[in-house]
Chains A and B, each alone.
Chain A
């Protein structure tokens, strides 16, 4: 336990001294704020149009479902681009700089190495995801009471966090396969991209193929969370991605000793 904690501390120190964490926070906030403003402007325009043309439609409009839900969906897509930068260094750089030997020749197990590194990346991810709470907070300050359905906001944030946690688990495994951070980031990006577009392929199909393909898509599983629904199916999906990522990283670290 203490070994895991020691590795978490060291990784976090590196996230902040190399300023990777700050860059990831900055880029993620910048892009989500861009989407937030766009979606909000569109929402405002719809209100204006509806109040002039179809006032009866206004009762169906609400901020949470029409601004926050799409925002969470967009944030999920942004994670595909941000997560690889969060994980590329984790193991690839240790191998390149030969610091991996330091871990291998000290009384730490491969499992502790994998888990420590993973938990550190989750801490950075968590801070990043919590930054999206700024938008509903801002709105709740200016809007009337009840405009923001906080329970939906929280499930949305949870969904993004779980999605990001799956992405970092995959990214950490990929990082263990190479000594180059660039290769690690690029390969992770490809895998995550595939996990997104497989959903598009699902939409083009019907029947069982559609079920399977959309079921595989990491982004599709965020939809429930964004609407405020926690579905066991979605939880199981993210849990299995995280489990697989950790398992393969552990295996990969074991085999690194043999080279």
Chain B
């Protein structure tokens, strides 16, 4: 479903992504780990078409991200690190706007909005201005936005950051449910989340792949995922 080959992203004097390759199978939830500044967000931004790569190739849902960006964007739901919310709009008008630019019309638009409102527990804030919402609600509106139109691929950049423990449990079980229908790339710093949700893990460090393996292998021999992560990203 996702095929990344030798991806490089260079800024003026900084190599953010330095030849990353990995692939994600349909229906898989991939844990995308790495220390801050390792190139996770950059990689995800490239996959969503928000930013072009310097070189390399990326295929999402059978389309080349650089050749057919619109086709890819139709099939990807993206929750950036900071949820992209318009503070002046209320939840409902925000979701309406996003569903319109995703090309959802009429009855389908209505039913999709109701579906994501229910899925993300936003019933109580339908008419509230986004600027007034707490961090947890903002995060969930961001997630709701990514789910609109049931995209084949979901790219979630730290979806549980800033949530309280109850909300974390809710969002995790939501992602678990999504995993049945969607292919997910999940970036997070909470390793228990990875253990609960992902079968396979990619660890990036300084723009390169430090590990690309199943969770079982990474925690083989009684090692904790924390220990593996620490060992791989300390060099």
Contacts and interface: CB of A to CB of B under 8 A. Distances in A.
Contact of A258 (B51, B70, B98): B51
A17 interface: yes
Nearest to A116: B101
Contacts of B105: 2
A178 to B, nearest CB: 19
A2 B86 CA distance: 20
Contacts of A108: 101
Given A104-B49, A107-B74, A17 B100 contact: no
Contacts of A102: 84, 98, 145
Interface in A5-19: 6-7, 9-10, 13-14, 17-18
A102 B144 CA distance: 13
Interface stretch (B75-83, B176-184, B188-196, B222-230): B75-83
Given A13-B93, A257-B51, A258-B52, A97 B86 contact: yes
A131 to B, nearest CB: 24
Contact of B73 (A13, A97, A105): A105
Interface residues of A, number: 26
Contacts of B86: 10, 14, 97, 99
A14 B80 CA distance: 22
B97 A6 contact: yes
Contact of B80 (A2, A98, A107, A109): A98
B88 to A, nearest CB: 4
Contacts of B52: 257-258
A109 B70 CA distance: 8
A18 to B, nearest CB: 5
A211 interface: no
B57 interface: no
Contacts of B103: 2-3, 107
B80 A18 contact: no
B78 A105 contact: yes
Contacts of B74: 107
A103 interface: yes
Contacts of B101: 3, 6-7, 103, 106-108
B49 A17 contact: no
Contacts of A3: 100-101, 103
B88 A18 contact: yes
B50 A101 contact: yes
Contacts, number: 74
A229 B218 CA distance: 79
A111 B149 CA distance: 23
Contact of B102 (A99, A106, A109): A106
Interface in B53-76: 70, 73-74, 76
B131 to A, nearest CB: 10
Which of A9, A97, A105 has the most chain B CB within a 10 Å cutoff? A105
Interface in A127-157: none
Nearest to B103: A107
Contacts of B97: 6, 9-10, 13
A171 to B, nearest CB: 19
A97 B98 contact: no
Contacts of A104: 49-51
A97 B86 CA distance: 8
A2 B97 CA distance: 11
Contacts of A100: 84
Which of B80, B84, B98 has the most chain A CB within a 10 Å cutoff? B84
A105 B50 contact: yes
Interface of B: 45, 48-52, 70, 73-74, 76, 78, 80, 82, 84-89, 93, 97-98, 100-103, 105, 129, 145
23 contacts: A2-B100, A2-B103, A2-B105, A3-B103, A7-B101, A10-B93, A13-B93, A14-B86, A14-B89, A17-B88, A97-B86, A97-B87, A98-B80, A99-B86, A100-B84, A101-B45, A101-B50, A104-B49, A104-B51, A105-B48, A106-B73, A106-B101, A106-B102
Given A106-B73, A257-B50, 4 more contacts: A9-B97, A13-B88, A13-B89, A102-B84
